[in-house]
Chains A and B, each alone.
Chain A
Amino acid sequence: MTSLSSGTPARAEAQATGALGRAVVEVRGLRMNYGTTEVLRGVDLTVRRGEVVALLGPNGAGKTTTIEILEGFRRRSDGEVSVLGTDPDRGDERWRARLGVVLQSWRDHARWRVRELVDHFGRFYAPYSEEGRTRPADTDRLLEVLGLTEHAGKRVEDLSGGQRRRVDVALGVVGRPELLFLDEPTAGLDPRARRDFHELIHRLVDEEDTTVLLTTHDLDEAEKLADRILILAGGRIVADGSAEQLTALVERESEVAWTVDGARHLHTTGSPARHVAELYRVHGDAVANLRVTRPSLEEVYLDMVRHHESGAAERAAAEFGKEIR
């Protein structure tokens, strides 16, 4: 594997020692209104150095708005925001040089050649090297890590969707960022390109000491990519934890289904084991086709998304919050 740096990955260190890294992103009471529409109603979140954090939520929940505020591309209505120790509204070029940005959809520079493009944007970072972080990354090595070496001479417009997305990532990390924002990184990619992309992000994070904040509307992607998942719904963060933690938090009652003498039965209960024991005590071997289902995080999440999309955003968020705590 080609490494871009020789620095010790803070992520591995933090995971080994269990110590919390310093906060790279801190958001308190973030609010955003468009006219009379409140998109964000008091978002609190923290991202620590070396973490990969996914901001998960249905379409229209305000994920992109949040990330654009953090990137310094949008002015917030209210709240405190600090990104790498700086308020994004007042971030200067030196601050910008420490960030990497991969936005949702790009179709720019269609006629540029891949290597030419990556090299061009790398040049802007040259005056912003820091100790232990020489900027920019070497173009050819970066292309190699991203599997783009064989496409280096191709025009961007001739690339496949997955290759194009890797070019976007190359441009996002060519300045060797301390913090990388990825907005819906795999939207529109086929499953294989998607898996390759996930591997790629893991490699970059492990080798480059880069903290990542990504948005996605796909729980599966969040589980695969992130150390920690923040669920954004109804303009607030309604859940925060690793996939395992979130799963454990789901308290919805389990479903017990069975048939006795050909008749099907269904019962919802908080203590399925006791119910099953009771069934056997009463019916003995007449119980057939027994099935106990505990709703997964995914089902709870999808329910929330369905409610959200049917317009009851706030109610959906509140219910989800109840179920998960």
Chain B
Amino acid sequence: MRRSLNITPVPGAAAAEALPRIVAFVEEMAELDDWAPDLVLRSNLILEELILNTLTHGRTTGLSDIEITLESGENSVAITLVDDGAAFDPLSDGLPANTDLPLQERSIGGLGLHLVRSMAEDLAYRHADGKNHLTLVARSGV
């Protein structure tokens, strides 16, 4: 099954207010297509990190819509995100997360995108028609 959800940023609203709709959308798809529990968790994590990143990191200039499309596959789900905010490639964003630093020196910057890049497969980004297009695949059991 293939379904889409559109998120419209609300000025002044906390970015995290978008999360319950995303979780509900994922869980509805998961139930209809009988996803494994780990696939549900990974899909939620990937979407949360990417969408909160888009909504909170100053790229909301001109952003009026984020379209999330999910398509169930064999033990996997193909995720497509299209948004009309400022051009941003989350696959080549700056520094890798500082996952080797000791406790007192660790900061959390970049960790969300690091999780996405590590957990998802077949990641591809392009900027076309004034929009960011990101495709990736979440897989169960790897």
Partners in one complex: no
On A, residues with C-beta under 8 Å from B are: none
On B, residues with C-beta under 8 Å from A are: none
